[in-house]
A and B are shown apart, each in its own frame.
Chain A
Amino acid sequence: MSDKPSRRQAFDEPLWWGLFSAGGVCFAVFVPAAILCLALLAPLGVVPLDAERARSMLFSLPGLLFVGAVICLPLFHAAHRIRHGCFDLRLGHDGVNKWLTYGSAASLSAAALTGVLIGMLM
């Protein structure tokens, strides 16, 4: 895999940058509240979150939007920063890293959105 810029980069970079940017907004505005409620207050028992309540909240249209804003877009933001961080530290090859990072973000996002859709159909 070559590290030379290819002609194709000019076409796909705005997409990655757009996803990075949208993910950055979500990371700053929605993620702090999500971490506070779901990863700190719920496991500590401050916020009631039994399976039935979690299902009714998550497996819905707002749940789908929540997953997009708190999982999918932040994953693309993370992918972009990890790719560029690897480049800054000269780890691996950018051509490969690009596939690995954005590919992982896309796969995990697809899994999360599919999960919500399955939950809505169940």
Chain B
Amino acid sequence: MHPNERLPPLPRSWWLKHRYFIAYMVREATVLPLLFFAVCLLAGLIALLRGEASWMNWLAFMGSAPVLLLNGLALAASLYHAWTFFQLFPRVMPLRIAGRPLPHQAVVAAQWAGVAVVTLISLWLFMGGAR
């Protein structure tokens, strides 16, 4: 587990030595733009509580180029995370239907279909579909 006193500590650059380790660290880093997006949303929530003018300011802040860029990065990070996460699921929990193992690709595809459905429902809701 965590601290291991029997081994000498690795140099901080250990993960640069192999592309799998780099991919691992990139996946770990996907939470940094996610954190930015979550804090943005929290700021939006507070702006909404403060009233109309604050909300308009928040929308303007969200529309500024650096913020749009960071949130675009957050979208890319969330999709990269999803890609790694969906491949993990059939390996951690192999599913069987009528005794036959379900192909991994089918489970991954079903999860992407879930993302597509959630995205379409969200777009429909935000476009004013529920009014």
Which of B40, B45, B56, B62 is the one whose CB lies under 8 Å from A116? B45
Q: How many A residues face the partner with a CB closer than 8 A?
A: 58
Q: How many B residues face the partner with a CB closer than 8 A?
A: 58
Rounded to whole Å, the gap between the CB of A48 and the closest CB of chain B is: 7
Main secondary structure of the interface of A (DSSP, over half): helix
CB atoms of B46 and A115 under 8 A apart? yes
For the A-B complex with A108-B38, A108-B42 known, give 10 more contacts whose Cβ atoms are closer than 8 Å. Answer: A5-B2, A27-B85, A28-B85, A29-B115, A32-B115, A34-B37, A39-B40, A41-B126, A44-B68, A71-B41
CB atoms of A84 and B28 under 8 A apart? yes
Q: Which residues of B contact A67 (CB under 8 A)?
A: 45
A11→B75 CA distance, assembly (Å): 34
B residues near A (Cβ < 8 Å) are 1-3, 9-10, 12, 15, 25, 28-32, 34-35, 37-42, 44-46, 48-49, 51-52, 55-56, 59-60, 62-63, 67-68, 71-72, 74-75, 78-79, 81-82, 85-86, 111, 114-115, 118-119, 121-123, 125-128
CB atoms of B45 and A49 under 8 A apart? no
Rounded to whole Å, the gap between the CB of B14 and the closest CB of chain A is: 8
What would be 11 A-B contacts, judged by CB atoms less than 8 Å apart?
A29-B111, A31-B34, A31-B74, A32-B115, A39-B71, A70-B41, A71-B38, A77-B34, A87-B2, A90-B10, A112-B45
